[in-house]
Amino acid sequence: MNFKYFRIKDSKFAFILGNRVVDEKRLEKSIRKVGKVLVPIVGVYYGTIKNSGYQVLDAETGELLNSPSDDYFVVLDGQHRTKTSLNLYKEQQELIKNTEDSDSLALRISDSIPANVYDEEDELDNILETIIDCNTSSKTWTSKDFVHSAHVLRNDDKIITFIDSLTTLKFSLSNISRILFFNHKMLTNQMLADYTNGKVELPENNYRKKLELFRLLINKGFSTEFLRKRYMYEAIIKKHNAQKYDEFVKALSLLDVDTVKKIENLCPLDYDNGKIIEIVNNFTNISKCDDNSSNNIDLSEKRFDENIEFLRSLANAKNKKKTAGKAAGARKKSKKGKRAALEDTNNDNLEYKFHYMLENIE
């Protein structure tokens, strides 16, 4: 590995498709203040890895490169530093064009980025592993980063698609593990990375049936906020371990809205004391449920795709609601600001009238 400086105007940077999403705002304040990247980025020339099968994105435009030239520098660690530096350098060049006195510019960004460069492909046992190792030694990847990477690199994988859909609904990896494997410790960041790299296979999970169960709970009125907690699935896991899973799912399918609300409004201690199972048992005569009733579930490819689309529409609806809420908050804040300004103006007028009255008295 060698060290060098890349002149921004003479260099081309790229990112591996499947690396984590770049948050351009995360480092902008510090780089803008210091004026340069202090910690070297890590990467390799595309020519060194072009036969490895990885696709790359142009760092500046974000476009997928079909036939990149060998001199593209592929950033393995330091995407945020690279993207932020490119943006600020571009901003600086625009200011220079529009300013007669460039010495007076408030923004001063270095025209180069320090980097450690892998010279040989042999140094990289696996590109994705190198990316993860680099980020683990600096800023640890989040579970969301691992899921995103897996989904990009194995976008035709149904299990990863299911996991990614739950991630967009803000489910933690431990909760996704409960939903998919009925074990909150089964699915880990390392397992996702190894599965993505083809090193391991995921344990048997009957993911289509698990997705049907999740949609059933949503359709009965359970909120994603509630399902993101451990309580509902721990009750289901308990019945599964007692060999009573199918009849319990049948009982859940018979619940009404009031009973669902009653379950969601329990206190944490009640959940731990098995209150969910008690409520379900009291609502339905669970002992008379047909044990084979759940065998009629549609587990076809078409149904799976419909369920995934349902989860994505659910996530989109929540995002729209959140955006609308922020917009409403901004409007409310704006109105408060206007009222405050008006009050200040009125206060100024009162103060003026008060002084005018004193002057006339004198």
The distance in angstroms from the start CA to the end CA of the chain is: 85
Angle at 59 between CA 76 and CA 161, to 5 degrees: 70
Angle at 58 between CA 56 and CA 138, to 5 degrees: 75
Residue 334 carries which side chain, given as an amino acid letter? S
CB-based burial label for 297 (10 Å; 0-12, 13-18, 19+): middle
Token pair belonging to 255: 């619940």
pLDDT value, residue 156: 87
Residue 106 carries which side chain, given as an amino acid letter? A
Which residues, 6 or more positions from 207, have their beta carbon under 8 angstroms from its beta carbon? 158, 159, 162, 180
Residue 347 carries which side chain, given as an amino acid letter? N
CB 117 within 8 A of CB 1: yes
Q: How far is CA 139 from the centre of its chain?
A: 16
The model's pTM: 0.63
Give the pLDDT of the chain (362 residues) as one tens digit per residue: 788 999 999 999 999 887 767 666 667 888 888 888 888 998 999 998 888 778 899 999 999 999 899 999 999 888 889 999 999 999 888 888 877 655 555 567 888 999 989 877 656 656 656 666 655 544 567 888 888 878 877 888 999 999 999 999 999 999 999 999 999 999 998 898 888 878 889 888 899 999 999 999 999 999 999 999 999 999 999 999 999 999 999 999 999 999 999 999 999 888 888 999 999 988 876 445 544 444 467 888 899 999 999 998 988 887 777 766 666 666 666 666 656 555 555 555 554 444 444 444 44
Say whether 354 sits in a helix, a strand or coil: helix
Token pair belonging to 175: 């909760």
Say whether 106 sits in a helix, a strand or coil: coil
CA-CA distance, 4 to 170, in Å (whole number)?
40
pLDDT value, residue 130: 67
pLDDT value, residue 355: 46
Q: At what angle do helices 245-253 and 231-241 cross, to 10 degrees?
A: 140
Say whether 347 sits in a helix, a strand or coil: helix
CB 227 within 8 A of CB 217: yes
